Structure 1
Amino acid sequence: MTAPAPAPRTIVVVAPDSFKGSCTSSQAARAMAGGLRAALGAETVVRELPLADGGEGTLDALVAAWGGSIHEVATRDALGRPRTGRIGIGVRGAAASDPLRAIVEAADANGLPAVADLPPRPLDADSAGVGVLVRAALGAGAGELLLGIGGSATSDGGTGMLRELGVRFLDRRGDEIAPGARGLAALHEIDATGLDPRAAALRWRIACDVDHPLTGPRGAAAVFGPQKGADAAEVAAIDAGLGRLADAFAALAGVDAAELRARAGLGAAGGLALGPAALLGAELLPGSALVADAVGLRAALADADLVVTGEGRFDASSLDGKVVSRLLAETAGRAPVVVIAGALGITAAESRAAGVAAAFTIADGPASLARLQTDAESLIEDAAARVGGLFATARSAGRAGRAPGAAAQPQTSNT
């Protein structure tokens, strides 16, 4: 009697974003892989591909994929306190003649987790620390800059960053406006005559984590202002200020202000890319696609049976250019995509409608935020083991004659 053919090996791709304030994407991937191997067996092929969307983890992912070295830089956080940031230098281009490339992860300076120990100050948070990192990249001789801009605490339209590069933002008296979003209401004129010529000559490529426009109901203030601590009045003030800033940049650069306000991606990081886009011809890129291409995600997904991803909070914004949306686009329904998150802000029906097979929180019961952050890796591993167990059950049921996938679409879980 001919022996039955062995069942094909299960191939799982683990491709999370970071869990902001808790663990990096590499740590999350390692934890997920451990849980899945425990549930599915050591013979399961688990491919770990830590991802990022322009925010936290982008620098590490791109340097790992492209080469180069990481250097520490003394900078400031969004509220002006000393902080150590990092830049990637010496990353190779496609050809030896390509300019020296630098990578800056803006959240290393203006990230929201770095100021989470203080009460929110959404009108005062400033991107000057990002400008310090850019100046360090210029000082290292970079001719091309890849700037990842997700995860910010700022809504100042990048004015702080550009001040560090020599641009002045003036009121009607010719005085500098207040830093942060607070000063934008008084903006009358932008003086770019002092712009560092190295910044003007730089090739700017900006990796955005979302595709939202600068202003309006889907803009930086309306969608992301509350996440940064802004109340309704502050959201309105930030939105008006960013519109005023767009008008001033449009007048200076001779471009259309309405187009600037509506351009996809300029709502990322509180409008951080506005000045480089208007004045310096910056190219806006979907951060999740850039990192996915760099790490070879498409090839890794080609024969996957299951895809597990995750992030700190899974909500509607996750489907607007972030890591989850990139995985859904790349898998195109060929394998189920499961999300493990610190918190859920989306219903089971909304998840399924977007193409997500299931979403789970890492909470194993009532838990404080502090505990979820402190124990994130072990909780992620446990959640991944539960996902693996459900997947194994669904696969066994399918092999036993049930309709494939009949048990593969569990409801979104909060346990």
Structure 2
Amino acid sequence: MKFVLAPDSFKGGMTAKEAANAMQTGLEKIFPAAEFEKVPMADGGEGTVQSLVDATNGRLIDNQVTGPLGTPVQAKYGILGNGQTAVIEMASASGIQFVNEQTHNPLITTTYGTGELILDAMSQGIKQIIIGIGGSATNDGGAGMAQALGAKLLDQNNHELPFGGGQLGQLDHIDVSGLNPAVMATKIIVASDVTNPLVGPDGASAVFGPQKGATPEMVKILDANLQHYADIINRDLHHDLANLPGAGAAGGLGAGLLAFTNSEMQRGIDIVIEYSHLKERAQNADFVFTGEGGIDFQTKFGKTPYGVAQATKSVSPNAPVIVLAGNVGAGIDSLYAKNAIDTIFPIVPGVTTLDQAIADGPKNLALLAENVGRLIGSIHHD
């Protein structure tokens, strides 16, 4: 019997690899001779680097870069097992975890450190970079990233703009003559499920600015500045990005990557499915187990369990897809569609605190996998 174990991470508790190991621990008690194909997954958000490194036997690289407040932070990225592809989470360098209630200020936060990670990956001889762009502390349209790559964003006095979305209104012209030559020679795949445009009521500033510390007055400034920035990009670089779906991701980093690099946007889960070779590894599966910390009606909009279900059903249509989740929310009926998820179980066995549930996660996941295995074993007498 072949089990494919393809969970996402359980946020705050288990990496995707640890979750897959816990599932195997439980199932092996019932099926000690079974084949287990473990494929750690992610959807382009937090945990994507670790999942793809684990899934491809790659390696992690640590680096000191410029954080969102302009001070040094420790960040890391991955190089996949093929040695040709790097995977970066922009949050590792420019994420909201580096600011707090006192220091968050999207007028000054920068994506410069994300650009430094991109440059470091290119220095390793990488030909392709996957960038997950969730969890940002920034609203600078990727301006800092572009500056790190060698672009000059200049005011009317030919002075380089300081960091932050609050400065973009001073932009007079863009000079890309100093852009690192490796930038356009490297293919960048942007992993994002965000479809917001750069500007306007659904744009980066209006929708995501407040959670990064923007007051209503700041939102107006930031949105106007991003519009001006988009106008200058359109004039100088011939990219019309203001209303492009996805350009507003990560405070406009989506727009910056599209403007200054050789990049394209894809759904995060689709990228991870491709680079983890999930479909190939799910050939001839008897059962597929997936899961993550929480599941609800939103799961069908690009989250890991739904993506895993669709991918594995395309190659092993008769293999039931079983989801084990930390928390089961509202509206899961919509997930039980044709060629998708077959059943969902919560792993928490009883009333408990969140901290205790996280601490007991691996044990509870293994126990639930064992119990589901007992049910399978009672039906399939192999």
8 Å contact from structure 1 (residues 75, 84) kept in 2: yes
How many angstroms apart in 1 are the aligned matches of 2:325 and 2:207? Answer: 20
Could you tell me which residue of structure 2 aligns to residue 386 of structure 1? 368
How many angstroms apart in 2 are the aligned matches of 1:166 and 1:386? Answer: 52
1:279 aligns with 2:269: no
8 Å contact from structure 1 (residues 211, 320) kept in 2: no
8 Å contact from structure 1 (residues 78, 111) kept in 2: yes
Deviation at 1:63, TM superposition (A): 4.5
What are structure 2's unaligned runs of at least 5 residues? none
8 Å contact from structure 1 (residues 210, 317) kept in 2: no
How many angstroms apart in 2 are the aligned matches of 1:394 and 1:89? Answer: 38
1:197 aligns with 2:180: yes
How many angstroms apart in 2 are the aligned matches of 1:31 and 1:230? Answer: 41
Let me know the Cα RMSD of the aligned residues: 3.9
Q: Deviations over 1:351-404 (max 9, x none)?
A: 435943325364842414x4455x1xx3144145335525643774x679xxxx
1:207 aligns with 2:190: yes
Could you tell me which residue of structure 2 aligns to residue 250 of structure 1? 234
Could you tell me which residue of structure 2 aligns to residue 48 of structure 1? 38
Tell me the TM-score normalized by structure 1: 0.72
8 Å contact from structure 2 (residues 241, 247) kept in 1: no
8 Å contact from structure 2 (residues 91, 136) kept in 1: yes
Q: Structure 1 residues 131, 44: CA separation in 2 closer, same or farther (over 3 Å shift)?
A: same
Q: Structure 1 residues 292, 348: CA separation in 2 closer, same or farther (over 3 Å shift)?
A: closer
Q: Deviations over 1:286-337 (max 9, x none)?
A: 3322322222211232333433323344455543334234213213464443
Q: Deviations over 1:217-257 (max 9, x none)?
A: 76555665566566777667666654444333222222334
Could you tell me which residue of structure 2 aligns to residue 157 of structure 1? 141
Q: Structure 1 residues 134, 190: CA separation in 2 closer, same or farther (over 3 Å shift)?
A: farther
Could you tell me which residue of structure 1 aligns to residue 283 of structure 2? 302
Could you tell me which residue of structure 1 aligns to residue 302 of structure 2? 321
Q: Structure 1 residues 90, 367: CA separation in 2 closer, same or farther (over 3 Å shift)?
A: closer
Q: What amino acid maps onto 1:23 in structure 2?
A: M
Could you tell me which residue of structure 2 aligns to residue 27 of structure 1? 18
Q: Structure 1 residues 247, 152: CA separation in 2 closer, same or farther (over 3 Å shift)?
A: same
How many angstroms apart in 1 are the aligned matches of 2:371 and 2:232? Answer: 56
Could you tell me which residue of structure 2 aligns to residue 167 of structure 1? 151
Q: Structure 1 residues 14, 166: CA separation in 2 closer, same or farther (over 3 Å shift)?
A: same
1:8-407 maps to which residues of 2 (within 5 A)? Answer: 9=1, 11-38=2-29, 40-63=30-53, 69-88=59-78, 92=82, 101-112=85-96, 114-115=97-98, 121=104, 123=106, 124-169=108-153, 179-184=163-168, 186=169, 188-193=171-176, 195-215=178-198, 220=204, 242-257=226-241, 261-263=243-245, 265-315=246-296, 318-332=299-313, 334-344=318-328, 346-352=330-336, 355-356=340-341, 357-358=343-344, 360=346, 362=348, 364-368=350-354, 370-373=355-358, 375=359, 378-386=360-368, 388-390=370-372, 392-393=374-375, 396=378
- Identical counterparts, % of pairs: 32
Residue 193 of structure 2: SS of its match in structure 1? coil
8 Å contact from structure 1 (residues 200, 280) kept in 2: yes
Residue 73 of structure 1: SS of its match in structure 2? strand
Q: Deviations over 1:109-134 (max 9, x none)?
A: 1234x437666826254322211212
Residue 146 of structure 1: SS of its match in structure 2? strand
How many angstroms apart in 1 are the aligned matches of 2:296 and 2:162? Answer: 34
Q: What amino acid maps onto 2:284 in structure 1?
A: D
How many pairs does the alignment contain?
374
Q: Structure 1 residues 25, 220: CA separation in 2 closer, same or farther (over 3 Å shift)?
A: farther
What are structure 1's unaligned runs of at least 5 residues? 1-8, 94-99, 401-415
Deviation at 1:136, TM superposition (A): 1.8
Q: What amino acid maps onto 1:279 in structure 2?
A: F
8 Å contact from structure 1 (residues 110, 129) kept in 2: yes
Residue 262 of structure 1: SS of its match in structure 2? coil
Could you tell me which residue of structure 2 aligns to residue 412 of structure 1? none
8 Å contact from structure 2 (residues 65, 113) kept in 1: yes
